[in-house]
Amino acid sequence: MDIDVLGALDVRENGVSVAPTAPKPRQVLALLALHADRVVPVGDLIEELWSGTPPRSARTTLQTYVLQLRELIATALAPGADAARPAPRTPKDLLATAPGGYLLTRAGGRSDVRDFEHLTGQGYRAMDAGDFAGASRTLHGALRLWTGDAFADVPAGPQLALEAARLHESRLCALDQRIEADLRLGRHREVLAELTVLTSRHPTHENLHAQFMLALHHCGRRGEALAAYQRLHTTLERDSGMRPSPRLRRLQQSVLTAAGESLPAAAYTPPAARPAAVH
């Protein structure tokens, strides 16, 4: 079973989609797919579907949704669906009832979340080893797995909303580290346009603003680098009553005093926040 959740939900068996169109069965499949090969407790599924106010028939209704998903899996397992790939025996082999919950099995298939976590782990290790070219290449590959926001076409209850937020932070961390690797490689001009957009989308994200300042400065745009710092300072003060961190203030001073000189590669090295994997 092949699973994609980093964008629109797509779960396929034998090349056939088993994703339902109805919103609530789609929520059930999304949560099971994210935690593929692990039991998802019935309580978590009920919380996702009814946000703390389940009807008396919640368990029975959930069982109905699981049966609907198994019917879609049965269609994908039908003879001739994909003769090149042997099918498991029954839909229950792929969507099993387990003690306390349900388990969706990949059965050798791929998962974009697992691939993303594997590649980002490799990228972070390359960064730690000073292999910035390898880190950039690997993290580029990890970020290409994303086709949109996680669960982009699934109505999100509390469980999926929490997971989507976690995945968003993981994506942002990988992006931050990939840009850091590119800056260490001297690719200042290449990342300028991207950082222009990112700092606009994330107006209080210090690391992105620091990277933007470095890229601008190394492209001979010192005044714009200082203006980027001032925008961040104003936004932080207005929204939270805070100032930029000492590290970022030191970077501002470096830009002020360096004039036309290049800053060292480590003029601003953000702390590497590495998200934990799902599994």
Residue 145's pLDDT is 98
Instruction: Tell me if 134 is assigned to some domain.
Output: no
Torsion from C-alpha of 166, 172, 177, 183, nearest 10 degrees = -170
Residue 53's pLDDT is 93
Q: In this structure, what CATH number is given to the domain that contains residue 74?
A: 1.10.10.10
Residue 261's pLDDT is 54
Residue 100's pLDDT is 94
First to last CA, the chain: 17
Residue 212's pLDDT is 96
Instruction: Tell me if 70 is assigned to some domain.
Output: yes
- Characterize 128-142 residue by residue with b for buried, 16 or more Cβ atoms within 10 angstroms of its Cβ, and e for exposed: eeeebebbbbbbebb
Instruction: Tell me if 270 is assigned to some domain.
Output: yes
Half-sphere exposure for 27 (CA within 13 Å, toward CB): 18
Instruction: Tell me if 157 is assigned to some domain.
Output: no
Instruction: Tell me if 161 is assigned to some domain.
Output: no
Residue 25's pLDDT is 97
Residue 276's pLDDT is 53
Instruction: Tell me if 218 is assigned to some domain.
Output: yes
Q: In this structure, what CATH number is given to the domain that contains residue 246?
A: 1.25.40.10
Instruction: Tell me if 146 is assigned to some domain.
Output: no
Instruction: Tell me if 122 is assigned to some domain.
Output: no
Residue 78's pLDDT is 83
Looking at 104, 123, 153, the residue that finishes a domain is: 104
Query: For the chain, what is the domain count?
Result: 2
If you search the block for the tokens 């964008």, which residue do you land on? Answer: 7
Residue 258's pLDDT is 76
Looking at 75, 104, 133, the residue that finishes a domain is: 104
In the chain, % helix, strand, coil (3-state, to 5) comes to: 55, 10, 35
Q: Tens of pLDDT along the chain (279 residues)?
A: 999 999 999 999 989 999 999 999 999 999 999 999 999 999 999 999 999 899 999 999 999 999 999 999 999 998 665 545 554 568 999 999 999 999 999 988 999 999 999 999 999 999 999 999 999 999 999 999 999 999 999 999 999 999 999 999 999 999 999 999 999 999 999 999 999 999 999 999 999 999 999 999 999 999 999 999 999 999 999 999 999 999 999 999 999 887 555 665 555 565 555 565 554
The parent domain of residue 18 ranges over 2-104
Residue 270's pLDDT is 56
> How many whole angstroms separate alpha carbon 169 and alpha carbon 161?
13
Residue 264's pLDDT is 57
Residue 262's pLDDT is 60
Per the CB < 8 A criterion, the answer to whether 103 and 96 are in contact is yes
Looking at 51, 69, 104, the residue that finishes a domain is: 104
